[in-house]
Amino acid sequence: MTRNSSAFPLPEPQDVFLAAQVKFDDLNRDLRQLGRDLTRCEKGVQEVCSYSPEEHLQPFKDKMEAFVLSGEYLNLVFQDLVLYFGVKPKTGEKEVTTSHFFMLWFEFCADFKARWKRENKNISKERYLTPSLPNVKSHYENVYICKISLKI
């Protein structure tokens, strides 16, 4: 019997469920504070760059610009993720909460995993029950070649 060695292509449903249990309100509050800190940092970088002589700007300017850009990027990732999947907020809420998003994702992963397991089981069963037929064509070709060689 051939064993199907395909790997489950999504996160484990239990991991997604645990992510949904995290109190993202505290994390969101911290992220907002980090966003304010990042804005202050960006203003400070601009001030330092405007008052510093050109020969003293590098590598400070490049490193700080990269840092600020990475902070701005991280701030938009969740919103992009929500837009990508087309998730709508619960009725009565203005925006999609992280717990709502992860619970939807958990339900999807759990359903997908159940179907995936069932399908893999069916494929394995089919492979086990289907006898492998010998290659009839090659057998007849070999017989034909033998007959021709005997005639010569």
How many domains are contained in the chain?
1
Question: Residue-wise pLDDT tens for the chain (152 aa)?
Answer: 445 557 777 778 888 788 777 776 777 777 778 778 878 888 887 887 787 777 777 877 777 777 777 766 655 777 788 888 888 888 888 888 877 888 888 898 899 999 988 998 888 888 877 766 555 556 566 666 666 666 65
Is residue 6 included in any domain, yes or no?
Answer: no
Is residue 5 included in any domain, yes or no?
Answer: no
Residue 30 to residue 83: CA distance in whole angstroms: 22
Residue for token pair 């289907």: 130
**Those residues with Cβ within 8 angstroms of residue 7's Cβ, 6 or more apart along the chain or in another chain:** none
Q: Please indicate, yes or no, whether the overall pTM of this predicted structure exceeds 0.75.
A: no
Is residue 1 included in any domain, yes or no?
Answer: no
Is residue 116 included in any domain, yes or no?
Answer: yes
Is residue 8 included in any domain, yes or no?
Answer: no
Q: What is the pLDDT of residue 1?
A: 43
Domain of 125, in residue numbers: 13-151
Q: What is the pLDDT of residue 2?
A: 46
Is residue 3 included in any domain, yes or no?
Answer: no
Say if CB 113 and CB 13 are below 8 A apart: yes
Q: What is the pLDDT of residue 90?
A: 86
**Those residues with Cβ within 8 angstroms of residue 64's Cβ, 6 or more apart along the chain or in another chain:** 41, 45
Q: How many CB atoms lie within 10 A of CB 127?
A: 13
Is residue 25 included in any domain, yes or no?
Answer: yes
Q: What is the pLDDT of residue 115?
A: 92
Is residue 38 included in any domain, yes or no?
Answer: yes
